[in-house]
Amino acid sequence: MGGYVVQRGSDVALFGTVYSNPSLLEAMGDHQIRTNRALVDRLLPREAIQAQAVVIGHSHYDHLMDTPYIANAYATNAKVYGSRTTASLIASSLPPARLVDVGPAAAAGKGIDINSAAGATPRMRLWPIASVHSDQFRVMVPLSGVNIPFHVWRGEVSEPLTTLPAHSSGWAEGEVYAYLLDFLDDQGRVEFRIYYQDSGTDAPMGFPWGGKEPPDGKRVDVSLICLGGDFEHLHNHPEAIIKATRPRYLLLGHWEKFFVAQDDICRTSTVRAIPLQDTHYFIRRAKAAMKSARLDGKPIVPCPTASVLNFPIDPANHAAVHKAMKKPSTTYEFGR
């Protein structure tokens, strides 16, 4: 959920791809949860086999649980980039050489080169940005006017575990990162730049360049923005991050109702959104924010499991992208 496969030719990265959806009872009741391998086998885009990187923003089950299986069965050449907690939680499934703690690079403001082979010129560069996780939801106490915020499954894990977590609470949030992922040309210049977050935040946490202009003058091509979580009680989400990244294309992710199995969702007629959230309201705000930042186009709301988006590098081609987006004949239902 909220996961993406991004590709430029043979350069492929995954962002928190998860397909296994425990039910609300299993997740909130802390029952045993695990990867639904058959579902991953069916839905994971085959491009994932080529991936050099699996990028994880935080370690909740709905962003990390399927990574051990995907990294062993499909993306067998990829390293997993995430927090120390991410590496610790899945240490029983992958050798240490395939687990990269991005914390030191985030602290030093450094990019991490991703090479397809040792000694080769880097084709991608990943910039981790220290971020935070919003509350997940808020429940109003009837007749009282009181809202109780919920922020569950917190905590960090600093030592490698010997087995994978078996319950939602075991998938501890850990340190949280947003990212810039740069696709580089043969001269090492940035050709295409993606911003990714898997939880909404307020500035400056999770904001690239401390909210200032990009030092290399290269603006963001695609921002992958998180719609899920208690965004209404953040100060300025998504407006602030849209203004800060000024993307050519804006994709809104992590909006689907993830307590039901995503059973080949794009071939069904309806995709339902997260309960208790006013998804339409978020989309309207994102649209208005794009307009006020003088960005062309509209926010794109992709199908969570099977959208394939090709972003032409030609900046004149916005209309073509938006037209292409309409192809999967899926109705998005954004009820509360």
Residues contributing to the site for Zn ion (CB under 5 A): 60, 62
User: Given the complex with Zn ion, which of 62 and 221 has the nearer CB atom?
Assistant: 62
Cβ 264 to Zn ion shortest distance, Å: 21
Q: Closest residue to Zn ion, Cβ-based?
A: 60
| Neighbour count for residue 316 (Cβ, 10 Å) | 7
Least separation in angstroms between CB 254 and Zn ion: 6
Q: Give the nearer residue to Zn ion in terms of CB position, either 65 or 114.
A: 65
Our CB check for Zn ion shows the closer of 60 and 285 to be: 60
- Distance between CA 223 and CA 331 in Å, rounded? 23
Our CB check for Zn ion shows the closer of 62 and 256 to be: 62
Residue type, 174: G
Question: Shortest approach of Zn ion to residue 15 CB, angstroms?
Answer: 12
CA distance 129 to 109: 8
The alpha carbon torsion through 157, 161, 167, 168 (nearest 10 deg) reads: 30
> What count of Cα atoms within 13 Å lies in the side-chain half-sphere of residue 265?
26
User: Position of tokens 């509209």?
Assistant: 298
Cα of first residue to Cα of last residue in the chain, in angstroms, is 18
Question: Distance of alpha carbon 4 from its chain centroid, rounded?
Answer: 7
Find the shortest distance in angstroms from Cβ 310 to Zn ion.
26
Whole-number Å distance between alpha carbons of 209 and 245: 9
The helix (run of H) or strand (run of E) holding residue 88 is helix 84-89
Helix (H/G/I), strand (E/B), else coil: 219: coil
Q: In angstroms, what is the minimal distance from the CB of 206 to Zn ion?
A: 13
Question: Between residues 7 and 168, which has the closer beta carbon with respect to Zn ion?
Answer: 168
Distance CA 101, CA 87 (A): 7
Alpha-carbon distance of 113 to 106, in angstroms, equals 13
Is the link from the previous residue into 204 a cis peptide, with omega within 30 of 0? Answer: yes
Report the residue number, 129 or 290, with the smaller CB distance to Zn ion.
Answer: 129
**CB nearer to Zn ion: pick between 60 and 98:** 60
In whole angstroms, how close is the CB of 58 to Zn ion at the nearest point?
A: 6
